[in-house]
A = this chain, B = another copy of it.
Amino acid sequence: MPTALNLPMVDPLPPETQKYFDICTEKLGMIPNVLKAYAFDIDKLNAFTAMYNDLMLADSNLSKLEREMIAVVVSSINRCFYCLVAHGAAVRQLSGDPKLGEMLVMNYRVAPLGDRQRAMLDFAAKMTIASAEIEEPDRQRLRDVGFSDRDIWDIANVAGFFNMTNRVASATAMQPNDEYHAQSR
């Protein structure tokens, strides 16, 4: 079981889901456990993957690496084992910089970032720790380093999303695939 809950995958999977999982195996060498966890209910799986793919893979002025950086910083604050392992690997891979991945997992303030990325991660961190205290000057700080209102939306939604998945993963004791640990070290 990918979580501590006894919720077996639909068996057999619908053809479209099976096809999606086959693509995962082919491209990633594994089916991420989060997908197996949701696969007890195909509607829930589809809602999750639709939102995930829109946020992390669709067009955005934020690079895929930047979105993964947000994912890791949020997950670091929430201490989510699943997401730190999976998205820490993604940062190492997309950046080609294993040390950057470690820095974001451990304490993003030690990473040598430019103003743009630092402001982006500070905003994501504040959203995670004290979202009720975000006010116009916080948004303005993002605009001041070059982010558009659309970019702010994307930062907020990626940071929001991992505040959801971190909590779902921790609440269900979701286990990351072992393959992640040695990737891109």
Contacts and interface: CB of A to CB of B under 8 A. Distances in A.
Interface of A: 4-7, 40, 43-44, 46-48, 50-51, 54, 58, 76, 78-81, 84-85, 98-99, 102-103, 105-107, 109-110, 123, 127-128, 131-136, 138-139, 149-150, 152-153, 155-157, 159-161, 163-168, 170-173, 178, 181-182, 185
Given A134-B171, A152-B172, A181 B7 contact: no
Contact of A78 (B78, B99, B131): B131
Nearest to A107: B79
27 contacts: A4-B136, A4-B139, A5-B149, A7-B149, A40-B150, A43-B54, A44-B157, A78-B131, A78-B132, A79-B107, A81-B110, A84-B102, A84-B106, A85-B102, A105-B105, A107-B132, A109-B132, A131-B171, A134-B170, A135-B173, A136-B173, A139-B172, A152-B172, A155-B171, A156-B172, A160-B168, A163-B167
